[in-house]
């Protein structure tokens, strides 16, 4: 948990601000990918707004365009290249500054392609966020094309400005990187090794959010429930090393007391104590790290959502093994049963990949079988996408596109059946709903979500926005529920 002083980097915010003074400049940002990328974008927005830019949704209107990219599947890449084609003309017409950052920029072949065929001013990676003001300064003042990518893991950066997307719900990144190397996945290559933020920094951020009126916190990490695992292991090793060397053993005890919160379970319990916060979620956990202490913390902490994301990926033990997921179909189902037993009213969402190399009809049936058994409330379904540099990309038994799509459709049909069944169970029940605002499709109605992330619409007064109120569910409409509240 090295902490880096970023005073020097932040001075460039002031420098760019000076250059921009009186110019009324606008920026446009597009974020692709997961909530971690969204959270990074909030930090980019924080820096950019302090540099004197105001946000615009219209890219044509922008003086600075920022793309924060994802590369987890091929379609994310296609989207970026489409966008870069569009802004090329904008740059030619009015000199718009184009900055491209995020996970995709950690892939050499992509950066080479951009340099060869597209217009840009700044390319920055996932480990160089703090340099963004300096990179922008150099690009604007010196009219240089900047590429600022690090292949080694960036340190944990504290103290970047942040401009949040919402004023009720906030994300807090607690760890970065991934050590799991699932064979299909690019994330470990573009986000680096697991490293956790210090608990006191996380708790201070959450306390500050609570004071600002935030009600819901989502703790983020690529393998969020492995929080502090690497640090714990290093610590154990240092104890072992020190006990081999008797003279130094007293300092081990000292350090033990510093790291009181040294696991995800303990962090959940600590966040649960913070007054003002009403709901705590976390994403994305790995099934292997749902140890008993984590399950018990979820059970005991009244604010922690009982709606758990439990990425399955495949229901076939064979496929799971080749994916390097380190659990079998049976172990996954046992975990679900254990959690159901310990946590009353627990519900699950999941991620599933169809068409992983070598997936047979029988393997796919195993996936459907787990879906039928667990009856997930929400399924994020993905068609396997080959990622350059991952072991699965080199496997010879790739599945033809047509079969992948057919299996995807079969999974989707089953999901819709289960969705209906699950929705019916809500009718007549009273749910505690955090009212988020007016419905996008009907401004007369309020909207919120159940704990299980189902959209609920209801009639009510705007003064309820930001409050958690009991809502009786009266009907279901596949992708949303209708509710009634007698609180006006």
Q: Does 96 bind ligand SAH (CB under 6 A)?
A: no
Distance CA 445, CA 464 (A): 11
Please report, as residue ranges, which positions from 95 to 154 form the binding site for ligand F3S (by CB under 6 A): 103
* Residue 479, both tokens: 């992708």
Per CB under 6 A, does 33 bind ligand F3S?
Answer: yes
Whole-angstrom distance, CA of residue 355 vs CA of residue 385:
9
The CA distance from 228 to 312, in Å, is 23
Two tokens, residue 292: 């008993």
Q: Which is nearer to ligand SF4, 382 or 480 (CB)?
A: 382
Does the footprint of ligand SAH cover residue 73 (CB under 6 A)? yes
Q: For residue 427, give the nearest of 443, 405, 450 by alpha carbon.
A: 450
Q: Report, in Å, the least distance between residue 32 CB and ligand F3S.
A: 7
44 and 124 Cβ atoms separated by less than 8 Å: no
Among 12, 124, 184, 408, binds ligand SAH (CB under 6 A): 184
In the complex, minimum distance from the CB of residue 223 to ligand SF4, in angstroms, rounded to a whole number: 5
Select from 2-10, 69-77, 86-94, 383-391 the region that touches ligand F3S (CB under 6 A).
69-77
Residues 399-428 that bind ligand SAH (CB under 6 A): none
132, 214, 264, 384: which one contacts ligand SAH (CB under 6 A)? 384
When asked if residue 70 is in the footprint of ligand SAH (CB under 6 A), the reply is no
- Our CB check for ligand SF4 shows the closer of 13 and 187 to be 187
The answer to whether residue 190 forms part of the interface with ligand F3S (CB under 6 A) is: yes
Closer CB to ligand SAH, residue 223 or residue 423? 223
Closest CB to ligand SAH among residues 187, 456: 187
Query: Helix 264-272 to helix 199-211 angle, to the nearest 10 degrees?
Result: 30
Task: Determine the interface stretch with ligand SAH among 17-25, 97-105, 183-191, 195-203 (rule: CB under 6 A).
Answer: 183-191
State the binding partner of 181 from ligand SF4, ligand SAH, ligand F3S, none, CB within 5 to 8 A by kind.
ligand SF4
Minimum CB distance to ligand SF4, residue 321 (Å): 14
As given in the structure block, the two tokens for residue 478 are: 């596949």
Which stretch, 33-41, 89-97, 271-279, 403-411, contacts ligand F3S (CB under 6 A)? 33-41
Q: How far is the CB of 396 from ligand SF4 (least distance, A)?
A: 22
Q: How far apart are CA 114 and CA 118, in angstroms?
A: 5
Phi, psi angles (nearest 5°) of residue 359 = -65, 120
Task: Output the CA–CA distances (angstroms, integers) from residue 433 to 33, 325, 459, in the order listed.
Answer: 27, 35, 13
Which option in ligand F3S, ligand SF4, ligand SAH, none does residue 33 bind, with CB closer than 5 to 8 A by kind? ligand F3S
Six-digit token pair at 488?
A: 């006006």
Q: Which stretch binds ligand SAH (CB under 6 A): 209-217, 359-367, 377-385, 450-458?
A: 377-385
Q: Which residues pair with 176 in a beta bridge?
A: 195
Whole-number Cα distances in Å, 340 to 224, 298, 374: 21, 12, 10
Per residue, the 3-state secondary structure of 97-163, as one string, reads: EEEEEEHHHHCHHHHHHHHHHCCCCEEECCCCHHHHHHHHHHHHHCCCCEEECCCCCCCECCCCCCC
Contacts (Cβ under 8 Å, ≥6 apart) of 394: none
Which residues within the stretch 115-154 sit at the binding site for ligand SAH (CB under 6 A)? none
**In whole angstroms, what is the distance from residue 311 CA to residue 333 CA?**
12
Q: Which of 13, 47, 185, 267 binds ligand SAH (CB under 6 A)?
A: 185
**Does residue 106 interact with ligand SAH by CB under 6 A?**
no
Rounded Cα distance, 105 and 270, in Å: 36
- Supply the minimum distance, in Å, between the C-beta of residue 21 and ligand SF4: 42
Binding interface with ligand F3S (CB under 6 A): 33-34, 36-37, 70-72, 103, 187, 190-191
Which residues make up the interface to ligand SAH (CB under 6 A)? Answer: 72-73, 184-185, 187, 222-223, 284, 286, 311, 313, 351, 353, 382, 384-385, 387
């Amino acid at each position: 948990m090295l902490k880096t002083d970023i005073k020097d980097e932040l001075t460039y915010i002031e420098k760019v601000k000076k250059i921009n003074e009186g110019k009324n400049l606008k920026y446009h940002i597009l974020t692709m990918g997961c909530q971690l990328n969204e959270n990074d974008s909030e930090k980019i927005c924080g820096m950019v707004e302090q540099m004197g830019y105001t946000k615009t949704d219209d890219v044509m209107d922008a003086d600075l365009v920022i793309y924060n990219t994802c590369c987890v599947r091929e379609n994310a890449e296609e989207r970026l290249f489409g966008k870069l084609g569009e802004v090329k003309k904008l740059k030619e017409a009015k000199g718009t500054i184009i900055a491209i950052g995020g996970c995709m920029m950690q892939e050499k072949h992509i950066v080479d392609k951009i340099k060869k065929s597209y217009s840009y001013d700044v390319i920055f990676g996932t480990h160089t966020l703090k340099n963004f003001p300096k990179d922008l300064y150099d690009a604007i003042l010196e009219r240089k094309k900047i590429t600022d990518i690090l292949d080694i893991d960036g340190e944990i950066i504290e103290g970047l400005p942040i401009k949040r997307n919402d004023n009720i719900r906030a994300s807090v990144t607690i760890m970065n990187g991934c050590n799991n190397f699932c064979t299909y996945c690019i994330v470990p290559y573009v986000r680096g090794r697991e490293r956790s933020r210090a608990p006191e920094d996380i708790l201070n951020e959450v306390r500050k959010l609570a004071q600002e009126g935030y009600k819901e916190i989502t703790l983020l990490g690529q393998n969020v429930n492995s929080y502090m695992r690497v640090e714990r292991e290093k610590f154990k090793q240092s104890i072992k090393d020190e006990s081999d060397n008797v003279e130094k053993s007293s300092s081990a005890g000292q350090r033990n007391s510093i790291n009181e919160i040294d696991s995800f379970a303990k962090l959940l319990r600590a966040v649960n104590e913070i007054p003002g916060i009403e709901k705590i979620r976390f994403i994305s956990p790995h099934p292997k790290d749902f140890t008993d202490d984590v399950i018990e913390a979820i059970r005991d902490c009244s604010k922690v959502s009982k709606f758990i994301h439990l990425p399955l990926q495949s229901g076939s033990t064979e496929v799971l093994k080749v994916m390097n997921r380190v659990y079998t179909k049976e172990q996954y189902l046992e975990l679900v049963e254990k959690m159901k037993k310990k946590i009353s009213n627990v519900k699950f969402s999941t991620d599933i990949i169809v068409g992983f190399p070598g997936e047979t009809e029988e393997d796919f049936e195993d996936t459907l079988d787990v879906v039928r058994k667990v009856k997930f409330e929400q399924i994020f379904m993905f068609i396997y996408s080959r990622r350059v540099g991952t072991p699965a990309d080199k496997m010879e038994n790739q599945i033809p596109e047509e079969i992948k799509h057919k299996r995807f459709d079969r999974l989707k049909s089953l999901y819709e059946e289960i969705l209906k069944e699950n929705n019916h169970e809500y009718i007549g029940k009273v749910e505690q709903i955090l009212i988020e605002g007016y419905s996008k499709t009907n401004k007369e109605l309020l909207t919120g979500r159940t704990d299980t992330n189902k959209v609920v619409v209801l009639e009510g007064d705007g003064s309820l926005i930001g409050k958690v109120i009991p809502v009786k569910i009266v009907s279901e409409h596949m992708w949303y529920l209708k509710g009634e509240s007698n609180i006006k």
